[in-house]
């Protein structure tokens, strides 16, 4: 093996002291000390390296005769410069990474048959905030808008729809569901195959967007029946469902968007405005599956509301069934959930953690339970309509009141169950029979009733028996109502004559106009005030 050369090129330094450096007068680049000093430091027997140094105070900036600033100021300036340089390098690194990610896409000549350009409107040009520009709130708002447009175009170019996180929120990431994620995922994915998207229009103008699901399919004729919310054809709606101000466009065109990305036009075959349900007939060539219903639904139970948005993306809402009375503007057959349901999910499935259908979404915070829905579908299949006796009152259950209120009613009038009259329709038959706000309905035809869901089930059952006797729509039905009058503390049973109708029931309180008082009325008011105040 050839010996290793020990010439000057491979000579190692004899001292551990750092090599002396100096700066060129015209540049800030450190250079090695001159050769004479280095040779002198390497002389045998010296024991150390000679360093060419000068005092800190005598050092000057390159190209200047002024001394450097004090060490404290110089170190502070150096830290500021280093921080700025670090931030700039980090921004450059992030932008470089974004450019590297977009390079494969910019090489594509066409995506979906469209040529890709590098113009500012291209999906591949991402907006950014310049470093040398002052940023205000208007600039930030514009940046957010352009950034949202960029991501939407980019997702569209990649053939994936843009998910609206407010609507299609991934409830499986909810902390309360982490321990049952696997079970919930299986249930949701199992029920998602039933959920369809629906849209409607009038004269080419969009009207509404809802969800729905098939309840029937004929293998021979390939005809299926889709159920959804009647909001799909509602052209004018009011907050109060009892007002009768809702308007429906029965001639609107409704399209059903199937999960294989095909769209078929639906034909309206029935609409029930009280229960806010609509049935459409469609042609489906491939076999379909019908969801399974269950009556096992309890208050405080966790449920999922499934729907479809305009891109057929699954919309998921998670919440608990609330233990409460129906709102005054809501129907008696509503049950409520403690989470908001998107409008596009109205008419969608409400399922439990087992994946079984427990209802259909009908309002933002409400749904129709399967016990009512199945009974309605049974009547429609049997008599081609969904009739219901109209009572003319709004009711609430005693059992849903707060405990002190329940205890007070029990202590004073010895009643612990029943329905409290919250509103009486002006001019109705029940008003003429002396029923007023605050009275308590305890039973109908001798059957005790404790909540409004039970009341609706009872009314649907009475309607079916009424039709089985040969009666039809808009006929009268007598119901014996057991009452407790809160004003005089009397109990009695009245014979209430109702009209069996498929239209939405209207309950409106009476009103009167206040006119200018006469002299006699003014004198009477002053006399009453003096007698009351003693003046």
The 3-state DSSP class for residue 98 equals helix
CA–CA separation, 449 vs 84, rounded Å?
75
pLDDT number for residue 33? 41
CA–CA separation, 197 vs 255, rounded Å?
8
pLDDT number for residue 72? 53
- Cβ of 223: how many Cβ atoms within 10 Å? 14
User: Tens digits of per-residue pLDDT, 204-214?
Assistant: 899 999 999 99
Asked if 60 and 67 count as a contact pair (C-beta separation under 8 A), the reply is yes
pLDDT number for residue 41? 43
pLDDT number for residue 271? 96
pLDDT number for residue 156? 54
Helices (H) and strands (E) in the chain, counts: 9, 25
CA–CA separation, 188 vs 306, rounded Å?
8
pLDDT number for residue 289? 87
Asked if 393 and 400 count as a contact pair (C-beta separation under 8 A), the reply is no
pLDDT number for residue 145? 83
pLDDT number for residue 49? 44
Burial (CB count <10 Å: 0-12, 13-18, 19+), residue 372: buried
Q: What share of the chain is helix, strand, coil (3-state, %, to 5)?
A: 30, 25, 45
- Contact residues for 175 (Cβ-Cβ < 8 A; gap 6+): none
- Contact residues for 354 (Cβ-Cβ < 8 A; gap 6+): 187, 294
- Contact residues for 428 (Cβ-Cβ < 8 A; gap 6+): 392, 393, 507
The 3-state DSSP class for residue 413 equals helix
β-sheet bridge partners, residue 368 = 360
User: Tens digits of per-residue pLDDT, 21-65?
Assistant: 444 444 444 444 444 444 444 444 444 444 444 444 444 444 445
Asked if 324 and 300 count as a contact pair (C-beta separation under 8 A), the reply is no
**HSE (side-chain half, CA atoms, 13 Å) at 257:** 17
Asked if 287 and 223 count as a contact pair (C-beta separation under 8 A), the reply is no
Across 497-526, b (16+ Cβ under 10 Å) vs e yields ebbbbbebbbbbeeeeeeeeeeeeeeeeee
We find that the CATH architecture of domain 388-501 is: Roll (2.30)
Query: Regarding the domain delimited by 167-386, which CATH topology (the fold level of the hierarchy) does it fall under?
Result: Thrombin, subunit H (2.40.10)
- Contact residues for 393 (Cβ-Cβ < 8 A; gap 6+): 421, 422, 423, 424, 425, 428, 430, 435, 441, 507
DSSP state of 8: G
Query: According to the 3-state scheme, what is the secondary structure of 101-158?
Result: HHHHHHCCCEECCEECCCCCCCCCCCCCCCCCCCCCHHHHHHHHHHHHHHHHHHHHHC
Asked if 245 and 236 count as a contact pair (C-beta separation under 8 A), the reply is yes
Asked if 279 and 227 count as a contact pair (C-beta separation under 8 A), the reply is yes
pLDDT number for residue 288? 87
β-sheet bridge partners, residue 482 = 443, 493
Asked if 478 and 394 count as a contact pair (C-beta separation under 8 A), the reply is no
β-sheet bridge partners, residue 388 = 501
Distance of CA 301 to the CA centre of its chain: 19
Domain ranges for the chain, please list them: 167-386, 388-501
pLDDT number for residue 515? 74
Asked if 500 and 388 count as a contact pair (C-beta separation under 8 A), the reply is yes
Element (H, E) at 493: strand 490-501
| Residues with pLDDT less than 50, the chain | 1-64, 98-99, 101-123, 157-173
CA–CA separation, 309 vs 199, rounded Å?
10
Asked if 185 and 172 count as a contact pair (C-beta separation under 8 A), the reply is yes
pLDDT number for residue 26? 46
pLDDT number for residue 315? 92
pLDDT number for residue 95? 54
């Amino acid at each position: 093996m050839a010996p290793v050369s020990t010439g000057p090129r491979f000579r190692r330094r004899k001292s551990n002291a750092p090599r002396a450096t100096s700066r060129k007068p015209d540049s800030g680049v450190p250079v090695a000390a001159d050769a004479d000093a280095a040779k002198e430091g390497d002389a045998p027997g010296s024991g150390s390296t000679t360093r060419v140094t000068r005092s800190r105070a005598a050092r000057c900036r390159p190209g200047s005769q002024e001394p450097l600033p004090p060490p404290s100021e110089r170190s502070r300036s150096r830290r500021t410069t280093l921080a700025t340089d670090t931030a700039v390098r980090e921004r450059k690194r992030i932008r470089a990474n974004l450019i590297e990610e977009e390079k494969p896409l910019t090489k594509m000549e066409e995506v979906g048959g469209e040529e890709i350009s590098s113009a500012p409107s291209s999906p591949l040009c991402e907006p950014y905030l310049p470093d040398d520009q002052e940023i205000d709130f208007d600039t930030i708002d514009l940046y957010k808008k352009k950034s949202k447009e960029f991501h939407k175009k980019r997702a569209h170019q990649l053939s994936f729809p843009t998910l609206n996180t407010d609507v299609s929120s991934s409830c499986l990431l909810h902390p309360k569901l982490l321990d049952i994620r696997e079970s919930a995922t299986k249930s949701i994915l199992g029920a998602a195959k039933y959920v369809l998207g629906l849209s409607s229009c009038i004269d080419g103008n969009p009207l509404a967007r809802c969800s729905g699901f098939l309840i029937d399919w004929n293998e021979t004729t390939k005809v299926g029946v889709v159920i959804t919310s009647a909001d799909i054809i509602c052209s004018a709606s009011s907050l109060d469902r009892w007002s009768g101000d809702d308007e429906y466009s029965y001639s609107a065109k409704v399209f059903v968007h199937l999960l294989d990305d095909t769209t078929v036009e639906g034909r309206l075959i029935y609409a029930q405005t009280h229960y806010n349900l609509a049935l459409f007939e469609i042609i489906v060539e491939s076999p379909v599956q019908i969801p399974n219903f269950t009556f096992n639904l309890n208050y405080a139970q966790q449920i999922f509301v499934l729907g479809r948005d305009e891109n057929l993306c699954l919309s998921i809402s998670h919440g608990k069934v609330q233990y409460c009375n129906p709102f005054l503007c809501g129907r008696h057959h509503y049950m409520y959930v403690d989470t908001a349901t998107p409008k596009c999910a109205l008419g969608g499935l409400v399922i439990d953690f087992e994946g079984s259908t427990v209802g259909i979404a009908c309002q933002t915070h409400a749904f129709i339970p399967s016990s009512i829905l199945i009974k309605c579908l049974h009547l429609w299949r049997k008599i081609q309509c969904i009739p219901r006796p109209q009572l003319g009152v709004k009711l609430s259950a005693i059992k849903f009141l707060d405990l002190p209120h329940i205890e007070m009613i029990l202590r004073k009038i010895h009643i612990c169950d029943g329905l409290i009259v919250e509103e009486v329709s002006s001019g109705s038959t029940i008003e003429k029979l002396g029923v007023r706000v605050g009275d308590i309905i305890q039973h109908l035809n001798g059957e005790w009733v404790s909540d409004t869901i039970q009341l609706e089930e009872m009314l649907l059952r009475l309607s079916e028996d009424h039709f089985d006797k040969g009666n039809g729509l808009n006929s009268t039905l007598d119901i014996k109502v057991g009452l407790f009058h809160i004003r005089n503390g009397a109990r009695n049973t009245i014979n209430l004559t109702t009209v069996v109708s498929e239209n939405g029931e209207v309950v409106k309180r009476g009103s009167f106009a206040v006119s200018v008082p006469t002299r006699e009325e003014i004198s009477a008011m002053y006399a009453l005030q003096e007698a009351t105040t003693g003046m």
